[in-house]
Every structure is written in structure tokens, then in C-alpha cells.
Amino acid sequence: MPRSQNRRTIEVPVPLYEELSARAVREGTTIAAVVQGLITDGKTLQEWFGEIDAQRRELRRDLRNRDHPSNS
């Protein structure tokens, strides 16, 4: 049962709930706040994957430079 008239209850698979719960604990917030942040962020999956790919490329470059400083 929702706690207020401004809230509704939804069902999610247990693994997703556990992931959201763990993230909420790490961030010191509530599951509802985590879900709201994920939904309202406004980024498309393509934008998320683009950011992740850019970070991956930067990390690989940094590791190469660390392992072979003469190449930097």
C-alpha cells in the first residue's frame, strides 16, 4: 500500500530490487530516490554507452601510458 496519495507501488524482479537497495545504501539515500534519479536523468542508452565507451578508452590509454611511459 502506498504511504501517501502521491506515491504508487510497483513490482520489480528481486535481483533488480537488491541492486537498487545496495545502491541506495552506498549513496546514503532511498530506493525511491535512486529510481527517480535513474528515470529523470534524461540520458538515452546510447548516450550512457557512449560515455562508458569514452571512459573505457581513456582508461586504456592511461594504462598504456603507465606501462610504457615512452609512448606518451
Q: What is the DSSP letter of 71?
A: G
**pTM of the full predicted structure?**
0.51
Helix, strand, coil fractions of the chain, as percent rounded to 5: 70, 0, 30
Tens-digit pLDDT profile for residues 22-65: 999 999 999 988 888 888 776 776 787 888 999 999 999 999 99
Domain ranges of the chain: 12-41, 43-72
Q: Kindly tell me if the per-residue pLDDT of 72 is higher than 70.
A: no
- Is the model more confident about 67 or about 70? 67
